[in-house]
Structure 1
């Protein structure tokens, strides 16, 4: 079983004094259904699952709609098992395929006898109103691909290592060289395997990158099928083109998405909703350019200037040549893997609660890879470096020297160990989660 941080959120929901339904959202294949089943096995005597895609007839439980008692009798009959008050979890999976079930949750929660969990993919584009259930009836947990720490757990890295890394991060003291080299080796594997559970489990089981690549391609094919099934007919070709263009666009020098690549003479206004679809489906992550590195960043973002990343770095590297994966595994620092490093940073920031990502590009000062606004409302510029020249960062120096921006520190995440130089701190790329948690 893969250890997932979302289990703690499930536990908090279960132990909370208020009675709500658990809504688990996220992209397809990030492990939602599997984790709910595991949680049910650990915490409930009785478990009933209704999948509205695999079993479309299950929708008849809610159609025609009725009172909670009647719907619960229908569910018990359809499941073929006895529901035990206070000890049963009823799981409504692929809820985007049964809108009536989503709207019935309020009444089922009010009944109070059983616990309810819901899950589905594409809720952001297909059933957004499921999130509009009144406060007090629903608790949402968003799941993502495994982050690097979860990946390390799958590789049997002891939790004491992360306690030590937390201390190193906070004190800005170097990580032990042996541990640093081992974690960088694991991180390079993570760049190739990514965090999709099927790929991680495949690698943990048989150590085969060929099987990993097959799992990743199956996932991407599933995303393409979702586009064909759920996107508006007139938008499908553009959305599919955008998704497939992400690897090549990130390989461009400035990594910014070029609309003309979708279709000649295409303007942003014509395809804006297509980008939003991919973001709402949780399969792509946009990072928007801002006019100035000042708070609030959202106020100065330029809607039509952005980079687009995959939600999982393994899906990105899987789109490149196998020689790229071999170079990464070998730790070849002569090769620039900037796009891959930036993708994993976008993925990690998103998984740790930075729901809006930004970067800064100025002809005069240069380009900063990311800007984040921390919990104290401070703007922190972040540079992401993959090669041996990770201490070369003209744009970061220029922006920090601009007195009108009042930026106190800059961070560089790259292959080197922890080091401080005036107002710039260098961290190993694998310590990004520590930054997110602080």
Structure 2
């Protein structure tokens, strides 16, 4: 399936000309191996994909014993894989390179040799156990790969015209009209249910069957749980506790993660590694409280107050009813029957977080609690940086009546903030200098 990151790979090939390797980092089953293989087949005269998750003993011995003699090293790999090597026209793909850190360390010398290009793919790349015994090569560019966004989902559905039209409407703040908006919202509802994991999208495109798609997503979730057990050694119980509790936390009106729901005596310092693990595995998107947005988001981050979203909303839908059958999952009915307001907090905020993250934003929100003067309490769902200004973003249902937190935030920081946005289920409109956008336009912010 067509992926935007392919263009990024082309830019790397053309601009760097072998001066560095590219490391493609992403969650399991996000499509890294597939896109790397397609890139090698389409853009190079020859390519060799070495799967370090299933490494033959003979290839392992080549990496362990022959790397000091690169002529012999390349000749043996060429012979084993029966692939002719061509200087500057061959790509080596080191797939799941975290499984064999020695290969990642060797990249420094392979790049210096200059004969071939090197594309690495991996998950859990930053975990200490995957890097503690190697020198991470400086000749390596790190690129994150996310689940398919809404535009990529539409491409898979055979639609390449809708998003350019939406982008033009966004840039000119021109309403789509009810007929077009209704059609796009129907497509967006399907995207929320299916999600952006390529296997799930592929099954849905072929079958249009949500039950079959749900089965694929549950397999992916089971794989994630197996990874936790295997790689989060020493604190796997904490990681699983946070992971299992995410749907319940997001279903609440108050989205900030409350560890007391897991354990009354739990403290964030005890669970910090677990949150970091889920983030580095790119299973979760952590969103932190920026207490003073006028001085920069990262500079005023309060890390003990956070929200934790699922990296893929389709997986969240299945995760919410993991033990139930497809027919018992109420979310499918609610969304398809246009009852999105029933679970608006869980799904709408999660899909916005997913789209913002895919667009390159780090996730921050603003929360202020004044126990003595409750009228000063406020919470803004997301804060994004745009043209050196901090823009507040609120997520609302189509029937919302007021935006008191946004009004208080604008008054408090009026000299320092940029354009405020409300994302909701209706068409584009500008009211009280606030730009109201349909949910599917979060990708343009």
Q: Which residue of 1 aligns with 2:334?
A: 327
Given that 2:363 and 2:383 are in contact with CA atoms closer than 8 Å, whether structure 1 keeps it comes out as: no
- Whole-Å separation in 2 of the counterparts to 1:333 and 1:72: 56
Alpha-carbon deviation of 1:365? 3.6
Please give the residue correspondences for 1:153-168 in structure 2 after superposition, counting only pairs within 5 Å.
153-159=155-161, 161-168=162-169
Q: Which residue of 2 aligns with 1:344?
A: 351
Q: 1:139 to 1:290 in 2, by over 3 A?
A: closer
TM-score by length of 2: 0.91
Unaligned 5+ residue runs, structure 1? none
- Whole-Å separation in 2 of the counterparts to 1:307 and 1:396: 19
Query: Is the aligned partner of 1:395 residue 2:405?
Result: yes
Query: Is the aligned partner of 1:174 residue 2:175?
Result: yes
Q: 1:97 to 1:15 in 2, by over 3 A?
A: same
Alpha-carbon deviation of 1:56? 4.8
Query: Is the aligned partner of 1:10 residue 2:44?
Result: no
Q: Which residue of 2 aligns with 1:281?
A: 281
Q: How large is the Cα RMSD of the aligned pairs?
A: 1.9
Q: Which residue of 1 aligns with 2:90?
A: 88
- Whole-Å separation in 1 of the counterparts to 2:252 and 2:415: 29
Given that 2:252 and 2:345 are in contact with CA atoms closer than 8 Å, whether structure 1 keeps it comes out as: no
Given that 2:353 and 2:363 are in contact with CA atoms closer than 8 Å, whether structure 1 keeps it comes out as: no
Q: 1:156 to 1:228 in 2, by over 3 A?
A: same
TM-score by length of 1: 0.93
What secondary structure is seen at the aligned counterpart in 1 of 2:13?
helix
Q: Which residue of 2 aligns with 1:142?
A: 144
- Whole-Å separation in 2 of the counterparts to 1:7 and 1:403: 40
Alpha-carbon deviation of 1:345? 1.0
Q: 1:179 to 1:128 in 2, by over 3 A?
A: farther
Given that 2:47 and 2:93 are in contact with CA atoms closer than 8 Å, whether structure 1 keeps it comes out as: yes
Q: How many residues align?
A: 428
What secondary structure is seen at the aligned counterpart in 2 of 1:358?
strand
Q: Which residue of 2 aligns with 1:97?
A: 99
Deviation per CA, 1:52-87, whole angstroms, max 9, x where unpaired?
111252322221342332322232232132222232
Given that 1:96 and 1:121 are in contact with CA atoms closer than 8 Å, whether structure 2 keeps it comes out as: yes
Q: Which residue of 1 aligns with 2:389?
A: 378
Given that 1:23 and 1:141 are in contact with CA atoms closer than 8 Å, whether structure 2 keeps it comes out as: yes
Given that 1:109 and 1:115 are in contact with CA atoms closer than 8 Å, whether structure 2 keeps it comes out as: yes
Q: Which residue of 2 aligns with 1:127?
A: 130
- Whole-Å separation in 1 of the counterparts to 2:400 and 2:26: 34
Q: Which residue of 2 aligns with 1:407?
A: 417
